[in-house]
């Protein structure tokens, strides 16, 4: 065989032996947010051979840190974010480190101290400019950074030497208030379009949707989610000047983009303050809404509000997913929006019109809170069926506990307002179920667009919302605490929900250190720069002198008429389990053709479940992905496991123990034809240990 024939033969072999890599270059896999993998490389025949191939440690976790990042894999490189928000690049095949960008490195001078607010980061945004240079956008505190993916250096031509201030475009009233991003922006042409996370208390920054020039950082457009005079939706506030003082209505959970049509979809949360609306009477557009905007100009195309005048923290928890729906012999460009309530709204994504009837159901509208005016109806979809339980009775109270404790739980349950999922917040206590964290949460659903099957994990934790009227007191420190801190740290200062105790801080910080922490924030706590110097001094002095056994006077605040909640309080047993019977977390398959659940299984396991030979499920954070071959991959649970299920019937196919709980959504990629699954393993929620790992699995033979 002569050399030319050998050369042609080798070219032929090379052509058919090389397989195209599959990247995961967008948060959730695509801007349609379907979390769908169009590949059958991972399938029923080989899933049992999925093994860990590498693990990466960021080495910067602490006792309260988390990693919620859905990593990106592009051209054989792996990009993720550490607990302390260091952006890094690895070789995707081996996990070997290429570079690390530390925004807190003193050489950069981006931050003046290391106590600056450190948000969680659920994802990052990839951008390639006209000269084919590639970058990553991501948020650290109130700064949106642009980092070159070749060398891990911030792009000095973007904004202020590499970042833009996320207060930009929110107005002067928001300039000193807490703003960050937990979910990534989207790229449309040469725009980086972003939502934001803001305070859920008062005062709160505006939740405007904004677009920046991805090359220069210049603000190109801003959409007011709380309408101003002359704008559509302004009439949904009884006070025409409400927009001047209100904040929130922000798209914290992410954005969806129809790239072909140039339509951006923004799901918003409530207007602040979350649980009392006496100062914002009306339906409160564009809070709790899916807003369709022109990605080019920011002009509104349509909106649909899922909750009127929200006082239950019913933020839209995840971006809508886009798909084409067959109905009455037509193909309709559609979207599906999951909710904390367990409802799914199916809309025509071009017009915003419902695909099936959504009824304005009468709900309890009489509030005993002075000044509160609730909506008389709420929009409830008739199709598909809810994926979470919608009501509870005393027969649902946890049967694992001893009789005396169960009687006590039943007594508490009986005392609560609970006749409706929209029972009013009250001073007696109102049952919130599905809870503040769903139903659905920020991990969102995965969609099999071939079979129109939606897969969504759900929380089944009841919470108790108790409101208290607050008025004047001589203690200014207590006034400030009750208005700014009570919701997170509770009446006894020991913390509520995931929030820590603030007792005995004088043993950890001196006065100046605590003052800096209060001003700038730290970890998941926002800063309070909007308070004047005198109020900062008062609250710091107040906190420094707290001791175990102290309790705040709930009547203490300097306001005309205001109500505050006593904190994020789960309805739980003495051992910390939900006060209701399992399942406490589920994975669900919803058939969008029939509107019915094909199957529902408990997701995750607990010690008490093992003792009683029952799978209880656990609370869960982070979503699933689904492959064309019918494999669902999900971590999300508090038992440190990642699992694979058969999408047809929910059968468990594979599971592995992670070093720490994987409260994140997996990523999928292929290199040289081999399938890989990546998951952030950072723990830190639900009482689990905090960690610093990224773990990657592949098929081994």
Q: Which of 647, 653, 697 minimizes the C-alpha distance to 675?
A: 697
Q: What is the pLDDT of residues 546-584, one digit of tens each?
A: 777 777 765 544 445 489 999 999 999 999 999 999 999
Q: What is the pLDDT of residues 33-67, one digit of tens each?
A: 999 999 999 999 999 999 999 999 999 999 989 99
Instruction: Please say if the pLDDT value at position 14 is more than 50.
Output: no
- Provide the pLDDT for residue 531: 76
Place of tokens 């207060």: 167
Q: Which of 283, 210, 206, 278 minimizes the C-alpha distance to 245?
A: 206
Please tell me the least confidently modeled range out of 73-77, 196-200, 219-223, 660-664: 196-200
In a domain, 479, yes or no: yes
Instruction: Please say if the pLDDT value at position 647 is more than 90.
Output: yes
In a domain, 481, yes or no: yes
- Provide the pLDDT for residue 557: 45
Number of neighbouring beta carbons within 10 Å of residue 294 = 16
pLDDT band at 114 (very low <50, low <70, confident <90, very high): very low
% of the chain residues with pLDDT over 90: 80
pLDDT band at 511 (very low <50, low <70, confident <90, very high): confident
Q: What is the dihedral of CA 262, 267, 268, 269, to 10 degrees?
A: -170
- Provide the pLDDT for residue 488: 76
**Cβ–Cβ under 8 Å, residues 425 and 367:** yes
DSSP 308: S
Q: Tokens in use for 472?
A: 């004047």
**Section 383-409 average pLDDT:** 98
**Section 250-275 average pLDDT:** 97
Q: What is the pLDDT of residues 570-620, one digit of tens each?
A: 999 999 999 999 999 999 999 999 999 999 999 999 999 999 999 999 999
Q: What is the dihedral of CA 101, 102, 106, 110, to 10 degrees?
A: 90
Q: What sign results for the dihedral spanned by CA atoms 686, 688, 693, 699?
A: negative
Q: Tokens in use for 333?
A: 């460009």
- Provide the pLDDT for residue 190: 98
Burial 84-123 (b: 16+ CB within 10 A, else e): bbbbbbbebbebeeeeebbbbeeeeebbeeebbbbbbbbb
- Provide the pLDDT for residue 682: 98
- Provide the pLDDT for residue 556: 47
Number of H helices, E strands in the chain: 7, 41
* Higher pLDDT among residues 143 and 506, named by residue: 143
Q: What sign results for the dihedral spanned by CA atoms 249, 252, 253, 254?
A: positive
Q: E strands along 385-440, which residues?
A: 430-432
In a domain, 282, yes or no: no
- Provide the pLDDT for residue 173: 84
pTM score above 0.75: yes
Strands 36-37, 625-627: pairing is parallel
Domain that holds residue 486: 472-558
Full DSSP string of 53-67: EEEEE-----TT---
Per-residue H/E/C for 100-121: EECCCCCCCCCCCCCCCCCCCC
- Mean of all residue pLDDT scores within the chain: 92
In a domain, 499, yes or no: yes
Strands 191-194, 446-448: pairing is unpaired
Query: Highest mean pLDDT range out of 106-120, 321-335, 458-472?
Result: 321-335
- Provide the pLDDT for residue 553: 66
- Provide the pLDDT for residue 125: 98
Q: Tokens in use for 455?
A: 């897969």
- Provide the pLDDT for residue 22: 97
Please tell me the least confidently modeled range out of 230-234, 290-294, 467-471: 467-471
For the chain, give the number of residues: 701
Q: Which of 466, 443, 464, 467 minimizes the C-alpha distance to 455?
A: 443
Q: Tokens in use for 509?
A: 């910080």
Integer Cα distance of 626 and 33 in angstroms: 12
Please tell me the least confidently modeled range out of 94-98, 560-564, 623-627: 560-564
* Higher pLDDT among residues 485 and 426, named by residue: 426
**Section 12-30 average pLDDT:** 77
Instruction: Please say if the pLDDT value at position 68 is more than 90.
Output: yes
CA angle 205/210/212 to nearest 5° reads 125
Instruction: Please say if the pLDDT value at position 522 is more than 80.
Output: no
CATH number at residue 485: 1.10.760.10
**Section 678-694 average pLDDT:** 97
In a domain, 271, yes or no: no
In a domain, 548, yes or no: yes
**Section 248-272 average pLDDT:** 98
In a domain, 337, yes or no: no
Integer Cα distance of 37 and 403 in angstroms: 48
Place of tokens 């009683």: 612
Integer Cα distance of 544 and 529 in angstroms: 19
- Provide the pLDDT for residue 554: 55
- Provide the pLDDT for residue 496: 63
**Section 348-352 average pLDDT:** 98
Count how many domains the chain has.
1
Q: What is the pLDDT of residues 414-470, one digit of tens each?
A: 999 999 999 999 999 999 999 999 999 999 999 999 999 999 999 999 999 999 987
**Section 669-689 average pLDDT:** 97
Q: What is the pLDDT of residues 361-372, one digit of tens each?
A: 999 999 999 999
In a domain, 687, yes or no: no
Please tell me the least confidently modeled range out of 18-22, 466-470, 493-497, 693-697: 493-497
Integer Cα distance of 128 and 135 in angstroms: 6
% of the chain residues with pLDDT over 70: 93
**Section 253-261 average pLDDT:** 98
């Amino acid at each position: 065989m002569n050399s030319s024939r050998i050369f042609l033969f080798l070219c032929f072999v090379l052509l058919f032996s090389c397989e195209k890599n599959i990247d995961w270059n967008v948060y959730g896999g695509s801007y349609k947010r379907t979390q769908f993998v169009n590949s059958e490389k991972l399938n029923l025949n080989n899933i049992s051979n999925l093994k860990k191939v590498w693990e990466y440690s960021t080495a910067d976790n602490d006792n309260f840190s988390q990693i919620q990042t859905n990593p990106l894999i592009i051209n054989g490189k792996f990009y993720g974010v550490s607990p302390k928000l260091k952006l890094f690049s690895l070789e995707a095949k081996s996990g070997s480190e290429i570079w690390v960008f530390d925004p807190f490195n003193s050489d950069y001078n981006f931050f003046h101290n290391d106590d600056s607010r450190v948000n969680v980061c659920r994802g990052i945004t990839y951008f390639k400019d006209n000269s084919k240079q590639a970058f990553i956008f991501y948020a650290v505190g109130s700064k949106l950074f642009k980092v070159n993916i070749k060398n891990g250096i911030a792009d000095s031509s973007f904004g202020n030497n590499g970042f833009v201030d996320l207060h930009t475009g929110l107005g002067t009233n928001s300039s000193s208030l807490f703003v960050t991003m937990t979910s990534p922006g989207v790229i449309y042409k040469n725009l980086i379009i972003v939502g934001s996370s803001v305070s859920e208390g008062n005062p709160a920054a505006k939740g405007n949707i904004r677009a920046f020039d991805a090359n220069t950082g210049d603000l190109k457009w801003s959409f007011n989610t709380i309408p101003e005079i002359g704008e559509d939706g302004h009439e949904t506030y009884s006070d025409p000047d409400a927009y001047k003082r209100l904040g929130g209505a922000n798209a914290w959970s992410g954005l969806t983009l129809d790239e072909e049509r140039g339509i951006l979809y923004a799901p918003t949360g409530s207007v602040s303050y979350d649980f009392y609306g006496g100062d914002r009477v009306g339906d409160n557009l564009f809070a709790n809404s899916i807003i369709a905007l022109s990605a080019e100009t920011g002009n509104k195309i349509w909106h649909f509000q899922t909750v009127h005048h929200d006082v239950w923290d019913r933020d839209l928890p995840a971006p809508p997913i886009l798909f084409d729906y067959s109905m009455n012999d037509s193909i309709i460009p559609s979207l599906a929006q999951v909710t904390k309530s367990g409802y799914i709204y199916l809309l025509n994504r071009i017009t915003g019109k419902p695909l099936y009837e959504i009824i304005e159901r009468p709900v309890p509208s009489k509030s005993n809170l002075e000044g509160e005016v609730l909506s008389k109806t709420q929009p409830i979809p008739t199709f598909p069926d809810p994926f979470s339980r919608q009501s509870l009775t005393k027969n649902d109270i946890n049967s694992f506990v001893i009789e005396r404790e169960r009687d006590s739980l039943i007594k508490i349950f009986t005392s609560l307002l609970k006749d409706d999922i929209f029972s009013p917040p009250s001073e007696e206590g109102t049952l919130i179920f599905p809870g503040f964290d769903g139903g659905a949460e920020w991990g969102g659903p995965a969609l099999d667009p071939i079979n129109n099957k939606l897969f969504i994990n759900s929380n089944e934790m009841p919470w108790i919302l108790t409101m208290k009227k607050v008025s004047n007191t001589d203690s200014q420190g207590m006034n400030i605490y009750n208005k700014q801190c009570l919701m997170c740290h509770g009446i006894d200062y020991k913390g509520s929900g995931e929030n820590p105790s603030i007792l005995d801080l004088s043993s950890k910080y001196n006065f100046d250190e605590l003052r800096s922490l209060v001003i700038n924030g730290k970890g998941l706590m926002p800063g309070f720069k909007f308070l004047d110097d005198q109020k900062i001094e008062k609250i710091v002095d107040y906190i420094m002198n707290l001791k175990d056994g102290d309790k705040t006077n709930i009547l203490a605040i300097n306001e005309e008429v205001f109500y505050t909640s006593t904190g994020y309080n789960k309805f739980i047993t003495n051992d910390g389990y939900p006060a209701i019977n399992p399942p406490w977390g589920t994975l669900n398959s919803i058939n969008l053709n029939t509107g019915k659940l094909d199957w529902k299984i408990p997701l995750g396991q607990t010690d008490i479940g093992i003792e009683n030979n029952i799978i209880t499920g656990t609370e869960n954070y982070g979503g699933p992905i689904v492959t064309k071959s019918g494999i669902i991959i999900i971590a999300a649970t508090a038992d440190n496991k990642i699992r694979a299920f058969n999408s047809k019937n929910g059968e468990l196919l594979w599971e592995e123990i992670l070093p720490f709980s994987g409260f994140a959504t997996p990523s999928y990629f292929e290199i040289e034809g081999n399938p890989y699954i990546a998951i952030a393993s950072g723990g830190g929620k639900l009482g689990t240990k905090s960690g610093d790992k990224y773990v990657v699995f592949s098929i081994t033979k």
